[in-house]
Amino acid sequence: MIEKNQMDSLFTQARQAAEKAYAPYSKFRVGAALLCEDGTVVTGVNVENRSFGLTVCAERNTLCTAIAQGKLSFLALAISTPDSIEPVGPCGACRQVMGEFMAADTPVLFGGSGQNRVNSTVGELLPLDSLHELKK
C-alpha cells in the first residue's frame, strides 16, 4: 500500500522530470516518475521528433528505461503535464504498455499545473486487459 505522501513525492519528481521534456513541436511537456519495487524511482519525459509520428511519450520512455535498468516490478506511477491546468491522462498506447508490466491494482496518479489530480489504477485505465484477467 502506497502512502499519500509517497504519491505526492512521486508526483513532484514527475513534475521536475517534465522540465527535461523535449517537446519543441507540441510545447506540451510530460514527465513521469515510476516507483520500482526496490524503492528506486525512474523518471522519463516525452521526446518528440520533427517526423511527428516518431514521438515517444513520457510514460513509455520511463517504463523502457526502467526495464533497461533491470527493473521488472513496479509499485506506482505519477505523470505530470505542467502545460495543462487540468490533468491529462496517459494515451492508449501507454496504457497498453503499462498493462504489460504493471499489475491492475498499481496506482497511477496524474495532474496538470492546477490543484486537480486524478488517482487511478492501471486496471481502471485499461479495463478487461487479458493479461490482468489471466493473472486472477
Residues that are catalytic: 59
Q: How far is the CB of 26 from ligand THU (least distance, A)?
A: 4
- DSSP letter assigned to residue 48: -
Count, residues near ligand THU per rule CB under 6 A: 13
Closer residue to ligand THU in complex, CB, 22/37: 22
Q: Which of residues 85-124 bind ligand THU (CB under 6 A)?
A: 90-91, 94
**Which H helix or E strand runs over 32?**
strand 31-36
Q: Which of 64, 56, 4, 55 is nearest to 34 (CA)?
A: 64
Q: Which of 17, 34, 59, 104 binds ligand THU (CB under 6 A)?
A: 59
Helices (H) and strands (E) in the chain, counts: 5, 5
How far apart are the C-alpha atoms of 119 and 130, rounded to whole Å? 23
**Footprint on this chain of ligand THU (rule: CB under 6 A):** 23, 26, 28, 30, 46, 48, 55, 57-59, 90-91, 94
